[in-house]
């Protein structure tokens, strides 16, 4: 991990210096040649103690970070410039075929005569392993992720259910069926985290500081695990029970700019939940539809279709001026999303609302 981090930071600094000084870029091939020379130098001979494949993969990761940054500039997406790796953050190395050996349910890595001491979470479907990624979390835990080519078909039987989901803060998800699902209470865990952070800031001495840092990292990890477990269980349940799932394409990066709601929005983890729904939908043969963020799902009456002129966030129930129906704000939005998803599934296209915008994302409406 240390060698990989050193190589990444060394060549990132070199590329920045070269561009700042001479306005020229260093390619991946050039960094690969420079790495060979670096390993011959007396001060950095210790780089030969680890697998050359891992170090070359680090250079590829650096090049990919640069490529993503420049692609983001062209597409006007928020992709940050490559940053230096810290020892206290999550570190990882990737080994491709030829750089490791799998035999008798054991993994051997280069420069090591003994296999990795792995506590398997599940049985591998086959031995067609493409690569392995070894990662170290800030809390000091080691993980091995194994990439395996799995040709099994996981498609679920077809069903006729369409579900609209309205994501929120007080209630994490409101279904078009009227059900409301709340996020597990994370407040006590955040309060404990706050106390641990205070203790960490007051510690003196390297060893005491490091012990306090690990406690903070473990608390962060615990919160993340609770949230991720909730997202996994809820997304799996939704995918198993419904054929079509419809939800809004929320502008999370823009919403967190609101200083009053930023923390509450970040704690929900909407982006992670939607990601889980998307990949599980693809794996199990379900449709996940994202509606345009400007579609007035909350202001549209699910009974008659009329649109309210104004509906502030603090109003949770409202009565339609046209038909007199009283609506729960979130359930009404979920019903409108379900109706839109039903139309798309039946006719294969979008339904244009009164505001004149197409309610479906043009690029990837149906995944």
Q: Which residues of 54-93 are buried (b: 16+ CB within 10 A; e: fewer)?
A: bbbbbbebbbebbeeeeeeeeeeeeeeebeebeeeeebbb
Residue 160 CB neighbours (<10 A)? 8
- Residue 318, C-beta contacts closer than 8 angstroms, at least 6 positions apart: 308, 311, 326, 327, 329
Q: Which of 106, 80, 75, 111 is nearest to 93 (CA)?
A: 111
Query: What 3 state SS string does 159-170 have?
Result: CCCEEEEEECCC
**Contact assessment for residue 120 and residue 143, using Cβ atoms and an 8 Å cutoff:** no
Which pair of tokens denotes residue 174? 């409101």
Dihedral class, residue 119 (left if φ above 0, else alpha if ψ from -120 to 50, else beta): beta
Q: Which residues of 171-205 are buried (b: 16+ CB within 10 A; e: fewer)?
A: bbbbbbeeebeebeebeebeeebeebbeebeeeee
- Residue 366, C-beta contacts closer than 8 angstroms, at least 6 positions apart: 287, 288, 289, 344
Annotated catalytic residues are: 166, 248, 330
């Amino acid at each position: 991990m240390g060698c990989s981090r050193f190589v990444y930071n060394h060549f990132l600094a070199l590329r920045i210096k070269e561009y700042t000084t001479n306005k020229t870029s260093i390619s991946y091939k050039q960094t690969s040649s420079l790495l060979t020379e670096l390993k011959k130098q007396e001060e950095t001979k210790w780089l030969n103690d680890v697998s050359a494949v891992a170090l070359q993969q680090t250079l590829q990761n650096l090049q990919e970070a640069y490529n993503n940054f420049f692609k983001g500039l062209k597409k006007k997406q928020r992709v940050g410039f490559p940053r230096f790796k810290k020892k206290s953050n999550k570190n990882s190395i990737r080994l491709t075929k030829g750089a490791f050996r799998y035999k008798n349910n054991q993994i051997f890595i280069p420069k090591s005569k003994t296999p990795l001491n792995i506590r398997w979470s599940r049985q591998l479907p086959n031995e067609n392993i493409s690569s392995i990624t070894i990662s170290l979390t800030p809390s000091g835990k080691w993980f091995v992720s194994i990439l395996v080519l799995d040709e099994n078909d996981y498609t679920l039987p077809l069903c006729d259910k369409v579900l609209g989901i309205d994501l929120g803060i007080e209630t994490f998800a409101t279904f078009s069926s009227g059900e409301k699902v709340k996020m597990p209470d994370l407040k006590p865990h955040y309060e404990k985290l706050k106390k641990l952070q205070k203790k960490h800031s007051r510690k003196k001495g390297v060893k005491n500081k490091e012990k306090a840092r690990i406690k903070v990292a473990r608390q962060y990890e615990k919160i993340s695990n609770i949230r991720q477990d909730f997202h996994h269980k809820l997304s799996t349940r939704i995918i198993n029970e419904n054929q079509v799932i419809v939800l809004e394409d929320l502008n999370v990066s823009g919403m967190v700019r609101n200083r009053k709601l930023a923390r509450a929005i970040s704690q929900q983890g909407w982006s992670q939940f939607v990601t889980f729904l998307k990949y599980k939908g693809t794996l199990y043969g379900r449709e996940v539809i994202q509606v345009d963020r400007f579609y007035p799902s909350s202001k549209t009456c699910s009974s008659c279709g009329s649109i309210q002129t104004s509906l502030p966030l603090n109003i949770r129930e409202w009565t339609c001026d046209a038909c007199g129906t009283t609506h729960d704000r979130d359930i009404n939005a979920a019903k409108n999303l379900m109706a839109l998803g039903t139309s798309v599934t039946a006719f294969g296209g979008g339904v244009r609302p009164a505001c004149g915008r197409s309610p479906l994302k043009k690029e990837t409406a149906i995944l």
